[in-house]
Amino acid sequence: MIIIVFIPDRVYYLAMNRIAEYVKRERKKAGLTQEEFAKRSGLGLRFIRKLEQGEETIRMDKVNQALAMFGMVAGPVDIREAGDDHE
């Protein structure tokens, strides 16, 4: 499960790092370079690099475009219902 919460900032930062790690891990499992992944997903190489580095100010529509390659999507999750997974 991927958790995206827009408030507080600390949780958003943790979520972006989790997404970054997930995309990088899954890309490597698929045997794709960043360049190959960018081409297949229709995203720019610079965006993929920023995403995998956990850049905090990237566009969520593009994050979801990258996650869609692995059958996933990010969206808002009520932090009170997410359990301890966000800590």
Residue 77 in domain? no
* pTM of structure: 0.68
Q: pLDDT tens string for the chain (87 positions)?
A: 555 544 445 555 667 788 899 999 999 999 999 999 999 999 999 999 999 998 876 788 898 899 999 999 887 666 666 555 544
Residue 27 in domain? yes
Domain CATH code at residue 32: 1.10.260.40
Residue 53 in domain? yes
Q: Which residues contact 76 (CB under 8 A, 6 or more apart)?
A: 4, 5, 6
Residue 30 in domain? yes
Helix axes 34-41, 45-52, angle to 10 degrees: 120
Q: What values do phi and psi take at 4, rounded to 5?
A: -120, 120
Structural domain for 46, as ranges? 9-72
pLDDT for the residue numbered 64: 87
Helix axes 45-52, 9-29, angle to 10 degrees: 120
pLDDT for the residue numbered 7: 46
